[in-house]
Amino acid sequence: MSLTVDQQKQAAARAAIDYIENDWVVGVGTGSTANHFIDALATIKDRIDGAVASSEASAQRLKAHGIRVFELTAVGELPIYVDGADEINANLQMIKGGGAALTREKIVAQCADKFICIADESKLVRVLGQFPLPVEVIPMARSLVGRAMVKLGGHPAWREDCVTDNGNWIIDVHGLTIDEPIKLETAINQIPGVVTNGIFALRPADVLLLGKTSGVEVFKNPASAR
């Protein structure tokens, strides 16, 4: 058996189904790996109550499968959140937002008791930052935030063709070596006009289901009690 990258994503997504208990409302992420998870969730839709989506795209896909989609405000807390990542390190800290859904993803993840990251093996890195760091900004703050990112050692690029589900813009910051993810996540979020940035270190994943060419490997966050 030698799984392709897409098969690795699908295998990780299917493995996440084992963590879903009856009558749960499931927090659902965004992206190609999360799409595999939504498709897998459809196979057990009769034993769950529904889902909370982290993007309009995921909400549409869930609804197309006949899965009930709740507003987060109607549910409050969630037992679980399942999502992909652009990069993840050994502490299960991540870069997310390649699909511009980072802010809603961070909000839904924060409401979840357990965060399961599903990813193909290319996403596992030693140090975060090879993938350009997405930062969601209020449009009028784009230049201000860009200059601040240069001071932090990055090379910002405006994702010109992108408006987020929240009506904001994305700056992708290249050239960062993120040795201290919590520190940088916190620092960037202090810049006026930043909605949030794509470092998920203050709230890392609890479990990583990593699809590899040989199958799925499970990593547990040693710092997590969940």
Residue 27 binding ligand R5P, by CB under 6 A: no
Query: Would you say 62 or 102 has its CB closer to ligand R5P?
Result: 102
Give the footprint of ligand R5P on residues 174-203 (CB under 6 A): none
Stretch that binds ligand R5P, among 24-32, 41-49, 138-146, 170-178 (CB under 6 A): 24-32
Give the footprint of ligand R5P on residues 101-130 (CB under 6 A): 101-102, 105
Evaluate whether 121 touches 161 at the Cβ level (below 8 Å): no
Q: Closest CB to ligand R5P belongs to which residue?
A: 31
Residue 97 binding ligand R5P, by CB under 6 A: yes
Q: Strand pairing partners for 156?
A: 173
Handedness of CA 27, 86, 66, 168 (dihedral sign): positive
Residue 136 binding ligand R5P, by CB under 6 A: no
Give the footprint of ligand R5P on residues 62-91 (CB under 6 A): 83-86
User: Among this protein's residues, is 185 annotated catalytic?
Assistant: no
Query: Would you say 105 or 172 has its CB closer to ligand R5P?
Result: 105
Query: Does the annotation list 193 as a binding residue?
Result: no
Stretch that binds ligand R5P, among 28-36, 155-163, 185-193, 204-212 (CB under 6 A): 28-36
| Residue indicated by tokens 């060419």 | 213
Q: What angle do the packed helices 5-16 and 32-42 form, to 10 degrees?
A: 50
Considering only 5, 19, 24, 32, the residue that binds ligand R5P (CB under 6 A) is: 32
Query: Would you say 123 or 142 has its CB closer to ligand R5P?
Result: 123
Least separation in angstroms between residue 30's CB and ligand R5P is: 5
Tell me the DSSP string of the chain: ----HHHHHHHHHHHHGGGPPTTPEEEE--SHHHHHHHHHHHTTGGGS-EEEESSHHHHHHHHHTT--EE-HHHH--EEEEEE--SEE-TT--EE--TTS-HHHHHHHHHTEEEEEEEEEGGGB-SSBTSSPEEEEE-GGGHHHHHHHHHHTT-EEEE-TT---TTS-EEEEEES--BS-HHHHHHHHHTSTTEEEESEE-SS--SEEEEEETTEEEEEE-TT---
Query: Would you say 50 or 134 has its CB closer to ligand R5P?
Result: 134
Annotated binding-site residue numbers for substrate: 30-33, 83-86, 96-99, 123
Annotated binding-site residue numbers: 30-33, 83-86, 96-99, 123
Query: Which residues would be at the binding site for ligand R5P (CB under 6 A)?
Result: 29-34, 83-86, 96-102, 105
